[in-house]
Structure 1
Amino acid sequence: MVHPDPRTTTAVVAHGPGDLRVETVPVDRARSDEALIGIAYGGICGSDLHYWQHGAAGESILRAPMRLGHEVSGTVVRAAADGSGPPEGTPVTVHPATPGAGSGARYPADRPNLSPGCTYLGSAAQNPHTDGAFAGMTALPTRMLRALPTAMDLRTAALTEPASVAWHAVGRAGSVAAKSVLVIGAGPIGALTVAVLARAGATAITAVDVHPHPLELAARVGAHRTIPVSEPDRIAEVEADLTIECSGNHRGLASAISGTARGGRIVLVGLLPTGDQPVPMSTVITRELDLVGSFRFNDEIDDVIEALADGSLKVEPIISAEYDVTRAVAAFQHAKNAATTSKVLLRFPH
């Protein structure tokens, strides 16, 4: 369905805590190095939910209305004027980061995800905010675009960004082949982490969560065993070689510490709240555990696209529902219920 006015499009905009609106907005004016993309699908991320529910995602505080969305797929409607990027008609997904020097704080040159001035689509980390891509038509820099193989459908492609976060986290763990791995938190990122681990050859994957539904989902994408968080003794008995903490909760980190074998490694991908966290650090010391941070991703997105296209990365069960963009508020209400859902997609008709 073509929008009745080619100069306007439908977008999802957060105005403040509890104030999410579906609005008709002008179509972006593309710069010379930007292509106009007809968005097909957008995945609702935890940060989108935080902006809607709390008006902030961590320390990124919403100070003005902001278009949400950074997990998207679509098709090039108009190629960039400067000749860069894919031609018209190319199906694409998006790498939403723009690295930047920012304050000038030091970071490794080969890890641009750590650059202090890095911006992200749909993020209030900088002011003015960086609008996201939840719009039927949006202009995006061609350096963000990744052309998709013909075998890959746009619905699956909407999971490329969160799958890249999981892929990066597994990479931070080191070699996982033939290792026992504990995954704390089986929400969308946790489930995708299980899928990446299964593809990478981990031989004993254990998933932990509060709710039965995410655990059932984790088993469908590769977990060999699941444990409810209410059974701490069973978690402690895992003695995993590696643990990936995806809950973003200090209790989840405590479970990770408990369930990791002496000399093991814990990768923290779930973003903990700002400030001190009450966790058993003495156990980290006496077991000589490695605590490793994992933040977003870099060029892993290219490997993820290949793995999604050839079917070796199993993600389809993680998609719980899809809603037309006009029902975005209902979609967000659905997505916030971690007990019954995983990844919820918005569908943008053209």
Structure 2
Amino acid sequence: MSIACLIHGALDLRLEQETPAPLGPHDVLLRLGAGGICGSDLHYYQHGRVGAFVVREPLVPGHEASGIVDAVGAEVTRVKPGQKVAINPSHPCGRCDYCHEGRGNLCRQMFFLGSASVFPHAQGMFRERFVMGERQLTPVLESEITLGEIACAEPLSIGLHAIQRAGPVLGETVLVTGGGTIGCMSVIAARLAGAAQVIVCDINDRALAMARTVGADRTIRSDQVGAAEFADVAHVSIEAAGSPAALATCLSATRRGGRIIQVGTLPPELSFPANSLMARELDYRGAFRAHLEFDWAVQAIRSRRVDVRPLISAQLPLERSKEAFELALDRTRSTKVQLVSPTQPEQHR
């Protein structure tokens, strides 16, 4: 038996005992290394839903995690017991038209871990032990790369996908609204892609300090400056705050002919100045999850081309899941809060 964290509804988080599923020939039994609490996990915890995805049965959250291999099925060749692994939470079908077009993140039959988008729900990884198919795993052989860093591959892939959707940013100015985890990952991605200047705006001083730590050239308290501060300054704006006010900032800050990339989840009913897109020839693009960028993120972390360690604010054992969720909700004290296995003796961060 092992511990699992389950959300039964809004503000109803419970720890329960469960038995991991039996191993198939291509399956791997994993121990949780570290699992980051994401914005969607917080929505499930606070509201029992994320947009249209409503918790209809107990849901194990968690889609950004690392693990340690405990046992492998008879035909597993990709990983070995004792190895650290990155875990890709996306399970595209590989057969639909979107998968054939190389856009697996838009798969018609996507099974994304820790999500109530399907029923029965796609159970996530905030559990002490769980079974995963070997094709979702990438071994990380470098001893110096920690389990906490490896768990950051999924949020880093979101930032990489946002920049991929933006197109070439070499020599350009990129504005990021929101200095949370995804905003900071977008800063890192923009830097990797050769942006000349990265600006971050937020209403939280801690978030802005973190953005500077990971590479932002300039940070702005967006609630303390006038509209002129943002006028026509960026070739690309990335909305990573999920805020209508932040979107308005993107619309005013993006230069004529520029691109706006929406990464954050905005309210369903939103007044939108569409004529501004027309008159200024702005491109408005969505960025949803990630695809090949997950592998890019793993390699960037393994090689330390990027350093995600400053973003990890705290690591708490699964037994303190509720405390961890409450901490993650407090942006004045945390950026990325991770849950770790109670039986894992290694250094996670």
TM-score (norm 1): 0.93
The 3-state SS of whatever aligns with 1:92 is strand
> How far off its partner does 1:162 sit?
0.6
Q: Distance in 1 between matches of 2:69 and 2:148?
A: 16
Which of the residues 245, 248, 251 maps onto 2:242? 248
> How far off its partner does 1:67 sit?
1.0
Q: Select between 106-115 and 205-214 the one with higher mean Cα deviation.
A: 106-115
CA contact (8 A) 2:313 2:336 kept: yes
What amino acid does structure 2 have at the position aligned with 1:204?
Q
The 3-state SS of whatever aligns with 1:261 is strand
The 3-state SS of whatever aligns with 1:66 is coil
> How far off its partner does 1:137 sit?
0.8
Task: Tell me if 1:40 matches 2:16.
Answer: no
> How far off its partner does 1:31 sit?
2.4
Task: Tell me if 1:347 matches 2:324.
Answer: no
Q: Select between 26-35 and 49-58 the one with higher mean Cα deviation.
A: 26-35
Which of the residues 95, 118, 129 maps onto 1:126? 118
Q: Select between 228-237 and 155-164 the one with higher mean Cα deviation.
A: 228-237
Q: Distance in 2 between matches of 1:73 and 1:31?
A: 21
Q: Select between 276-285 and 150-159 the one with higher mean Cα deviation.
A: 276-285
Counterparts of 1:65-104 in structure 2 under 5 Å?
65-100=58-93
> How far off its partner does 1:324 sit?
1.3
Which of the residues 106, 109, 120 maps onto 1:117? 109
Counterparts of 1:222-241 in structure 2 under 5 Å?
222-230=215-223, 231-237=225-231, 239-241=233-235
CA contact (8 A) 1:34 1:141 kept: yes
Counterparts of 1:184-333 in structure 2 under 5 Å?
184-230=177-223, 231-237=225-231, 239-274=233-268, 276-333=269-326
Counterparts of 1:53-64 in structure 2 under 5 Å?
53-64=46-57
CA contact (8 A) 1:183 1:243 kept: yes
Percent identity over the alignment is 35
Pick closer, same or farther for the CA change 1:108–1:184 going to 2, 3 Å: farther
Q: Distance in 1 between matches of 2:131 and 2:228?
A: 50
The 3-state SS of whatever aligns with 1:241 is strand
The 3-state SS of whatever aligns with 2:164 is helix
> How far off its partner does 1:259 sit?
0.6
Pick closer, same or farther for the CA change 1:106–1:139 going to 2, 3 Å: closer
> How far off its partner does 1:304 sit?
1.2
Q: 1:159-190, CA deviations, whole angstroms, 9 ceiling, x for partnerless residues?
A: 11111111111111111221100001111100
Q: Select between 215-224 and 304-313 the one with higher mean Cα deviation.
A: 304-313
Q: 1:260-295, CA deviations, whole angstroms, 9 ceiling, x for partnerless residues?
A: 000100111112233x42132222211100011111
Provide the residue aligned with 1:161 in structure 2: 154
The 3-state SS of whatever aligns with 2:17 is strand
> How far off its partner does 1:42 sit?
0.5
Runs of 5+ unmatched residues, structure 1 = 1-7
Q: Distance in 1 between matches of 2:141 and 2:84?
A: 8
CA contact (8 A) 1:269 1:293 kept: yes
Q: Distance in 2 between matches of 1:148 and 1:342?
A: 24
> How far off its partner does 1:338 sit?
2.2
Provide the residue aligned with 2:15 in structure 1: 22
CA contact (8 A) 1:113 1:295 kept: yes
Task: Tell me if 1:141 matches 2:133.
Answer: yes
Q: Distance in 1 between matches of 2:312 and 2:161?
A: 20
The 3-state SS of whatever aligns with 2:93 is coil
What amino acid does structure 1 have at the position aligned with 2:162?
A
Pick closer, same or farther for the CA change 1:33–1:107 going to 2, 3 Å: closer
Moved over 4 A (4+): 104-108
* Equivalenced residues, count: 341
Provide the residue aligned with 1:4 in structure 2: none
Q: Distance in 1 between matches of 2:230 and 2:60?
A: 43
Q: Distance in 1 between matches of 2:229 and 2:12?
A: 39
Q: 1:81-111, CA deviations, whole angstroms, 9 ceiling, x for partnerless residues?
A: 2234312122101110111389x78676210
Q: Distance in 1 between matches of 2:319 and 2:248?
A: 41
Which of the residues 323, 331, 337 maps onto 2:330? 337
The 3-state SS of whatever aligns with 1:227 is strand
> How far off its partner does 1:327 sit?
0.6
